[in-house]
Structure 1
Amino acid sequence: MSEIMTTPEGVNSQLGQCLKAARQARGLTLKQVAERTGMALSTLSKVENGLMSLTYDKLLQLTSGLKMEIAELFNPVPPRPEQSRPVTARRSISRAGQGQVITTGFYTYTYQCTDLIGKRMVPILAEVRARSLEEFGPLLRHAGEEYFVVTSGRVAVHTEFYAPEILGEGDGIYLDSTMGHAYLNAGEAPSAQGVCLCTSEAPDLYDQLRRIASRDVAPFEGDPPSL
């Protein structure tokens, strides 16, 4: 059956606009839509540009691949109004050698920009000395996500659901912080250095990280703590 269905030009235009809106709402490119639906990229491009419409079976193929209702292709969702965020004009400068330091036998964390409270991102300078999970202790878990980049030495990253990875100088890893994780020294030097950026919507992220790092409270197991 032909993919083309003769319809008034206005309907073609509306279908194209709705398809584009649905695609963008899902963060997909036309090529990705073609891969998910099995439809030709050229066909999808023509539909989006209002140059052709689709038969009912092709509409079903399209919506099934995108896991959406056919009605969404003919009833455009109005764009959400942009929510303006107030400019806080906050800033903090971190000088070399400054920061709040937590030191254990196996690592040293230097928390930066501690004069700002309620940060959504917590920058940490990390010195990693532990060479085994037995030395390090329980895997760390906390709210949010984080990025760790090695600035000196080699670091072994252990996580709850993946095999360990070795990171060299300049290598980085982005991970879900609620997943158990640990950074270990995998180089020849007594310690490895890195920068860790932790982020979360939790307003007490800094306090939570500081408590966990100092082991004043044991890292939680199972579901993250209520924040």
Structure 2
Amino acid sequence: MKTPYKKPAFQTSRSNQISGGDRSLAQEVEPAVCNTIRRNIGDDSAQIRTYELEIGRRQEQIRRLQNDIAALELRRQQLRAAEADVPQLPGPDIPIQARGRLGALLRILKTLGQIHDAVILADAVNRAVAVRQAEQEIDRQVVRKVAEIEELERQLAGFQDRLDDRVDWMKRHFKAFKDNGCEGSAFNSYRFTPSSRTRRLLS
């Protein structure tokens, strides 16, 4: 008589093993909410990344504008240094209002044949006027760039507020991840490498 076939022990079903004695495996299955938390972390990390990039762009634009203003102010100093070398004729100062009188004096000098003095005086008048015109253009450019910086700073503050709000939400996701006993690290669901500032806030 044939001996009936008996399955080896390793072929018995996993469900029988769990229901038979070792119930710890069934208890280790994480809650379904963990997958939702992971998706939320991924979605919010993408938004955080967007805000960080926008903030970085505006900070760089502000730095460039500040460098432009510094270069313009240096140009102003150079112009004033050049103006200090302008021959002071016929008195200690050549205000813009004196251009008419200086022009008349220039014509007199030419008529009298004092060409050398006329050339010096003409150069003094032209350079003084050119310096003042250049300074006025510098003023216009500085005012425009300051206004651009103020607008960028306003945008920067807006993106920073949105970033801070999203990081606060991310803190809640991380807490929920821990409270629900989700497996692994919450950072594993982060889509991008977080900035050092964000990592500090979440750690």
TM surpasses 0.5: no
Question: RCO greater where, 1 or 2, for CA within 8 Å and sep 6 or more?
Answer: 2
TM class, shorter-chain normalised? Answer: under 0.3
TM-score w.r.t. length of structure 1: 0.17
More strand by share: 1
More helix by share: 2
